[in-house]
Structure 1
Amino acid sequence: MTESERPILLVEDNPDDVDLTLRAFKRAGITRPVDVARDGVEALDYLHGRGAFASRAQQPLPVVVLLDLKLPRIDGHEVLRHIRSDARTRLLPVVILTSSVEDTDLMRGYGGGANSYVRKPVSYTEFVEAARQLGLYWLVLNHEPPTVLPPGTAG
C-alpha cells in the first residue's frame, strides 16, 4: 500500500451520516479510500487488526481517524483514550467529527488528545465545505510524525 492509498477511518454509527460524509468527500474531490467502523469496538479492532479486521494486522494505520463521540458499545471518548494509550496509535491524527454542541465534550475531546474537534454542519453545502477543508488540511497540508506504526509492529 502506497502512502497515497492509506485510508481515512470514519468511525460513525449513523448510516445517514456515513452516506453524507462519503458523498461530501466525493463532491469535495477527496479520492482517498474511506473505511468505516460502525462503533467503538469495530474502530479499535480495525486499528489493532483484530477480529473481523485481522487481515489489516500488517497494514499501515489510516492517515487520519474521523471519530464520532456518540457510539454504541464504546463511546468516542473511550476510543480516543485507547488510541492515545497505545504506543502504535498514540501519534495517529484523530479528528472528532460530531454533532455534539456540549462544551464538556469539546473539553474532554481535547483533554483526551484529539488533534481537532469539528462540529458537523447542519446543511449539506456547509458539510461539503467542511469535508473539503478537512481533506485539504489532513491529507495535503499536515505533516505527520515520520513513523506511524502499523498494528502488530514493535514501537
Structure 2
Amino acid sequence: MRAIKSAKVVICFLTALFFGLPAFAESRDDIGGRVTVGVHIASVHSSAGFNNFNPGLYIKSKEGWTGGFYRNSVRKMSFYAGKHFEAESESGRLAIGLTLGFVTGYTGYDDIARISRGKLTLLAVPSIRVSIADDVSLRAGIIPNIGGIVGSSVIHFALEKSF
C-alpha cells in the first residue's frame, strides 16, 4: 500500500514538473537554443555500497532531446535517451531543469523493478545548472529516494559545454 501511495506522489510531482516547467522557460535564444555536450563525473549517495565514480558522456540538442551513457551506481553501463526541460534565470547563470526518459543498466533489483519495463527504467531527474565560465556549466542532478524505489538518495554531478 505504501508503494502505491509513493508512486502516486511521484506521478503527480513529475506530471506537474513536466507540464509546468516549460511554462517558466523564457523564449530567449540562449535558453535551449544551443547544443550541449556533457561529461558525467561523480555521484554522492546517502547509503553505502554504491559506485560514486560515474564517468560518461551525453549530448543535448537545442530542442532538449538528450542521450548518453555512464557507469552507473550499481557498477553497470547505462545508456539513456529522453527530453530535457529547463528554466533559466534572467542572468543566465542559474537554471533548474528536468530530464525525462528511459535508462538501461538497472535490471535485477526488486525496488527499481517497480519503475522498470523489461530492460528500460523510468528516468526522471530534476537538476540545477550553475554557469562557471562562458558556455561552461556544472550540473547537479538530484535523485531523491522517494518510497525506497532507488535504494539511496543521489546527487550526481556533470560538467557541460554549450556550442
TM over 0.5: no
Query: Which is higher, the Rg of structure 1 or of structure 2?
Result: 2
Higher helix share goes to which structure? Answer: 1
Higher strand share goes to which structure? Answer: 2
TM-score (norm 1): 0.25
Compare relative contact order (CA 8 Å, sep 6+) and give the higher one, 1 or 2.
1
